[in-house]
Every structure is written in C-alpha cells, then in structure tokens.
Amino acid sequence: MEASGLAETSIRQENSSVWKAIWNLKVPNVEKNFLWRACHDILPSRVNLKKKKIIEDPSCPLCGREQETTVHILWQCPSAMDAWSVGSTRLQKCQTNGLDFIQIVVEVFNKCSQEDLKMFAGISRRLWLRRNEVVHGGVFLHPNTLVQQSAIAIQDFSKAHEVEQQCQATGELGMSRNWEPPERGWVKINWDASCAKGKGWMGYGVLIRDDQGNVVAAKCSTMVGNLEASVAEARGALLAVHLCKNLGLNWVHLEGDAQVVIKAVNSPEVDWSDVGLMAADIKKELQSIRHWRLSFIRRERNSAAHTLAQLALNNYMDQTWLNEFPACISQIVNTECTTPRNVLN
C-alpha cells in the first residue's frame, strides 16, 4: 500500500509538472487547451462516443484497423505516424507506446526542446482537425502540409508576440477597443484591401465574428495586378460577400473603411464608374442573403481586417480559417472582445 501511495504521489507530481509546462508554452492558447483536453481524454474520439452510447462502431475513421482512442488518432495511427515522421528528429525518436496520451506528452516534454514542444502542440491539434475534416467529408491533408502549417503558425504567433511587446512599450496596446459586436443573432464581417508598389499583387483580408466577438471565419486572399484603391476595396467587399454565401450566413452586417464603396452599394442610383460596376456585382450577390446591412467604420477600428490584408500582401497567400484565425491578429481580437476565446488566441 505504501509503495502504491508513493507511486500515485509521483504520478501526480509528474502530471503537475506537465500542466505547468503546457501552460508555459509560447503557443496560441487554443493549442494549450487542446493538449489539456487530450491529456484528460475528453476529446470526442469514437471510443469516448461509444462509451456515451452515441455511436456503435469505435473504429478509427482513418485507418479502420484499431479503435479510435485519443492516443491512437494523435500518435499511433499510421496517418499520425506519417506526420510525426516529417517532424523534428527528436519527436521521431519519441517512440513510446503509452496507453494514454498523457504518457506520450510526459516523454515528449522530458526529451524535447522548446521549439520541438511548440511543433508537438501544433501538429497534435492539426491531426485532430484533419481527422474531423475527413469525418465530415473533407480532404485528407498531406503530412507535409500539416507540418508546414504548424511551423507557419508558430512563426505567426512569435511575430504577434513581438508586436504586442512593441505596443506595450509604446503605449499603443488597446487602441482598437472600439470595434462593436453586431446585434444578437447577427455576424459582423470586416474587410480590407492592401497594396504596395513593386509587389505586383493586391492583398485582401476578411474577418467574420459573431455577436459575442468569437471568430467564425478569417480569410487572406491575393490578386495579381494593381487596382485603384477604391476598386480594390470594392473587390474586397465582394470577396467578403462570397465568403458569407459560402458559409450560409443570412444575418450579415458588413463593415469596411472604404466610404466610397459603401455609398455606392447603399445607393439606389446606377453608377457606371469602375467602383459603381463593382458595387452592382456586390448588390447582385447580396440578393441571396436574407438580411444584410453595410456600414462605414474608421480605419483604426478595422485593424484586424487590415492586418489580414497585410498578411496576404506580404506572404502572397490564399487561405481560409474556420472557427480560428492566424496568430498575427490574436492581440487585436482579444482586445476587442471581453468574452472567452474559442479560437486561436
């Protein structure tokens, strides 16, 4: 009994150290929360769903060979092993076959560097997201792409942390608190366009948030060529409307800092200018959205969308995030909303 008690004490102390190490990781909070949930085995794996009598078949939806436990889908499944084989050498050498995911985490945290631990957190969560995508009829993400996304997210988060420190040093932190959430049951869509001489392309950013400030979707997009600023903003608004339609949103409040575009869309008059023609396209697309409104916001209150546009412009990227967002806008989103985050923050 005494030996058993000492063993339990040792396990509790070891677990306590793991929790502390997880919360001290320099990664988005959503990844820390994911590791915590995985370690506590509270992810809706098929084994856990069977225990709750929600499903009958606990088989892994990816390999079909074993029951889908947390440790299986995140570590032991061939699809997971393919991703880990692309990661760092230290992660590849952690070949433990623990029965629980927390045993894997303990070994990884004992053997790996801080940079490896960041990758471990990012890859683990993206393995779960990939699993969910496949379960719901989506595309199976290649291991190389999954690992690359994790590395990019780490870089974005580090950059965002540097910006936050700079803002704290200059007293600029908190300047974007004036964003207002939409009415209850609505979503608010902020968009912006960005251009720079010599780039040869435009950058666009769209951010959709609900009435609690939680992010529904974020988008970065690029287009080759350089447009007049107002026309570029109009194209950004059209991009935002297309995203709303694709997501099936019907209570939509669009908000941008291009007053000429907003006036053109809200005006009943026919306008044959470039902006007017683009506004006509926007109006046509809005006809399929049940309830919508379009309003002006000052640039300083549109900083999240502006940052996304800059991200697209500087990295020539086209990417959409659902229920999460890139770390470069985490400080802005958290500053503008006081409700708990359920996204990358």
pLDDT in tens, 330-339: 778 877 764 4
Q: Which residues contact 247 (CB under 8 A, 6 or more apart)?
A: 208, 216, 217
Specify if 171 maps to a domain: no
Specify if 128 maps to a domain: yes
pLDDT digits (tens, 9 = 90+) for 248-284: 999 999 999 988 998 999 988 888 888 889 889 999 9
pLDDT of 160 reads: 65
Q: Are 254 and 240 in contact (CB under 8 A)?
A: yes
Q: Can you tell me the distance from the alpha carbon of 215 to that of 329, in angstroms, rounded to the nearest whole number?
A: 11
pLDDT band at 3 (very low <50, low <70, confident <90, very high): very low
Q: Of the ranges 29-33, 285-289, 340-344, which is most confident?
A: 285-289
Residue 192 shares a structural domain with residue 64: no
Domain boundary among 126, 146, 162: 162
Residue 123 shares a structural domain with residue 191: no
pLDDT of 66 reads: 94
pLDDT digits (tens, 9 = 90+) for 69-86: 999 999 999 999 999 988
Percent of the chain with pLDDT over 90: 34
pLDDT band at 178 (very low <50, low <70, confident <90, very high): low
**Could you tell me which residue, 259 or 342, shows the higher pLDDT?**
259
Residue 134 shares a structural domain with residue 263: no
Cα–Cα distances in Å, from 114 out to 22, 110, 131, 181, 345?
11, 10, 26, 37, 19
pLDDT of 342 reads: 39
Specify if 329 maps to a domain: yes
Give the residue-averaged pLDDT of 83-107. Answer: 79
Residue 158 shares a structural domain with residue 33: yes
CATH number at residue 283: 3.30.420.10
Mean pLDDT, all residues of the chain: 83
Q: Of the ranges 17-26, 95-104, 218-227, 259-268, which is most confident?
A: 259-268
Alpha-carbon dihedral sign for residues 93, 9, 32, 127: positive
Residue 155 shares a structural domain with residue 194: no
Residue 158 shares a structural domain with residue 199: no
pLDDT digits (tens, 9 = 90+) for 41-72: 999 999 999 999 989 999 999 999 999 999 99
Domain boundary among 162, 178, 195: 162
Give the residue-averaged pLDDT of 289-318. Answer: 86
Residue 316 shares a structural domain with residue 278: yes
Q: Which residues contact 124 (CB under 8 A, 6 or more apart)?
A: 31, 34, 35, 38, 74
Strands 251-256, 187-194: pairing kind:
parallel
Residue 194 shares a structural domain with residue 323: yes
Token pair of 339, please?
């409700």
Q: Which residues pair with 215 in a beta bridge?
A: 209
Residue 74 exposed, middle or buried by CB count within 10 Å (0-12, 13-18, 19+)? buried
Q: Which residues contact 328 (CB under 8 A, 6 or more apart)?
A: 156, 159, 160, 163, 307, 308, 311
Token pair of 121, please?
């957190």
Q: Which residues contact 317 (CB under 8 A, 6 or more apart)?
A: 220, 222, 311
Residue 295 shares a structural domain with residue 253: yes
Domain boundary among 162, 195, 214: 162
pLDDT band at 99 (very low <50, low <70, confident <90, very high): confident
Give the residue-averaged pLDDT of 122-150. Answer: 89
Specify if 169 maps to a domain: no
Q: Can you tell me the distance from the alpha carbon of 253 to that of 179, in angstroms, rounded to the nearest whole number?
A: 13
Which of 39, 17, 23 has its CA nearest to residue 101? 39
Which of 220, 195, 188 has its CA nearest to residue 205? 220
Specify if 249 maps to a domain: yes
Q: Can you tell me the distance from the alpha carbon of 41 to that of 98, in angstroms, rounded to the nearest whole number?
A: 13
Q: Can you tell me the distance from the alpha carbon of 221 to that of 321, in angstroms, rounded to the nearest whole number?
A: 12
Specify if 59 maps to a domain: yes
Residue 194 shares a structural domain with residue 109: no
Residue 29 shares a structural domain with residue 156: yes
pLDDT of 17 reads: 78
Q: Can you tell me the distance from the alpha carbon of 201 to that of 199, in angstroms, rounded to the nearest whole number?
A: 5
Specify if 343 maps to a domain: no
Residue 192 shares a structural domain with residue 148: no
Specify if 109 maps to a domain: yes
Percent of the chain with pLDDT over 70: 84
In residues, how long is the chain?
345
Q: Can you tell me the distance from the alpha carbon of 320 to that of 219, in angstroms, rounded to the nearest whole number?
A: 4
pLDDT digits (tens, 9 = 90+) for 189-235: 999 998 876 667 888 999 999 988 888 999 998 888 777 888 889 99
Which residue range forms the structural domain that includes residue 247?
Answer: 187-336
Q: Number of folded domains in the chain?
A: 2
| E-only strand ranges, 55-111 | none
pLDDT of 239 reads: 93
